Structures are given as structure tokens and as C-alpha cells.
Amino acid sequence: MRLLTWNINSVRLRLDLLTQLLEAQKPDVFCLQETKTPDEFFPVEALVAAGYKHHHFTGMKGYNGVAVFSKLPLSDPQIYRRCGKNDCRHISVKVATKDKTFELHNIYIPAGGYEPDLNSDKFRHKLDFVDELTRWFTQERSAKSSMVVVGDLNIAPLDNDVWDHKKMLNVVSHTPIEVEKFTKFYRSVGWVDGIRHFVPEEEKLYSWWSYRAEDWNGADKGRRLDHIWVTKDLKPALKNQQILRAVRGWQRPSDHAPVILDFK
């Protein structure tokens, strides 16, 4: 089974890129973040025509939005209101393979603004959001469950998940308080980092490069903001990972690269 996640930064604007990506990579299930469209305008027909007849999504005009599309049957679709907001940042479904059914969570954690200021509403919201995820998974789910979390989690937790650890310590996405809370979330049900399972922590690894850098590829000041985690029972099924850096160089790209995890 091939699972793909991508912060597409507008599904309607980049529908052609998405269909090109699906044709090239042929995932069985794909998840999108920042779809940026109300549900009634989501381009469902084009994606069903591409072979993904099972789907679940929630979106709003101009902001946020998450979606799951699948060739495999989906059940128990859920939409979660986090921090008392209906801002379309977290959904889940159960995915049925021929051997196992697992619960798939697609999450878009708030970016948190530009300054790591605890008095900032945006930064505080981000921290509260991560805290709520930690509590929820600890209380409502178990490490014995078969689960996968994917998404733009907007935090690069490891030293080599950013281009320069020391310079990034005061930059939102890699600050110590974000990493601390993110680590608690990661430990909540004993998640396994599906990408770092294959790539040692000593190696640099990014999935996002800023639009502000004209020569983003040459400068290579990236961050790993996009993640796929699995529960420990799924760890033996992990087969391979890819971060599709080349997609960041396509015409009118998202600033995020798609991330793929293959299962045996």
C-alpha cells in the first residue's frame, strides 16, 4: 500500500499538479492539507475519475482544509473541532486493506505566526492545539490501536529537520517549546516516525522550502514540517519512504513537497 500526504496550498489552483502527481506515483490513499475551498467547490469528480472513489474532506474558503481520497474502502468519517474552533484542521477515517483496517488521521497544525511570542494569539493557538492532540490521543486512543497520523504538522522537531539548528531556535516551527510539546504528542501513544525510520537522524531531511527564497533549491534552507507516523504494530509493515523534492520545482508549486510512505 502506498500512502501520500501533501500540503497542496489550494486544491483548485493545483488540481493539474495533483493529477500529474497521482498518475506518476499511484498512491492507494492520499491526504491533502490547506485545500482552501468550501466543500461544495471541492473538485471531487476529477479525483474520482482518477480512481479515488472513496473520500472524506472538510474545508473553508481561503484557509485550511483537509482531505482523504482512497482506492480502498473508507468508513467511520470524523471531523474534529480543536481548541473550540471549526477551522477544518483534523479529520479521520478507517481504511480497510485486505489484511488490516487502520484509523488514518489527517492533521494540519496551525503555523503559529511569525514570532514565537506566548502573548501572540496565533502562537498560543498552535501550542494549545498540540497540547489538545496529546491529551486526546492519550485519553481516546491506545497504543494498541492500529493508527496512522499524516499531515503538515508545522513543527520540525529534530536538529537535522532544519537547515541550521542554532539559527532556527528562535524561529517558529523549531523553537524549544514547540519541540517539547511536539515530543509529548509523539510519545502519547508511542508513535513511530515513518520517515525517520528509514533516514538516520544524523542526515538532513526537509519537506518545505520558503517561497521567499528565489533559489530555494540552491540555498536549501529547508524544514521537515510534513510527517507520517504509525503505531508500533504497523512498524514491521514499513517498506520505504520518499520526499518528492522535485515537485517543489514544478511550475506554480506548493512550498511543500509530497511525502510518501510505502507499506509491505
Helix and strand counts by DSSP (H, E) for the chain: 6, 12
Tens digit of each residue's pLDDT (9 = 90 or more) over 29-45: 999 999 999 999 999 99
CA 101 to centroid of chain Cα atoms: 20
- The residues, ordered by sequence, that sit 6+ positions from 249 with a Cβ below 8 Å of its Cβ are 217
- The residues, ordered by sequence, that sit 6+ positions from 222 with a Cβ below 8 Å of its Cβ are 162, 163, 204, 206, 207, 208, 209, 216
> Closest Cα to residue 79, out of 54, 100, 108, 46?
108
- The neighbouring-strand residues paired with 227 are 151
For the chain, domain boundaries: 2-263
- Grid coordinates in use for 48? 474520482
pLDDT for residue 61: 96
For residues 151 and 107, is the Cβ–Cβ distance under 8 A? yes
pLDDT for residue 23: 98
pLDDT for residue 214: 86
Question: Which H or E element spans position 167?
Answer: helix 165-168
For residues 58 and 40, is the Cβ–Cβ distance under 8 A? no
User: Which residues in the chain land under pLDDT 50?
Assistant: none
CA gap 256, 207 in Å, rounded: 6
pLDDT for residue 80: 98
pLDDT for residue 246: 98
- The neighbouring-strand residues paired with 55 are 69
CATH number assigned to the domain covering 2-263 = 3.60.10.10
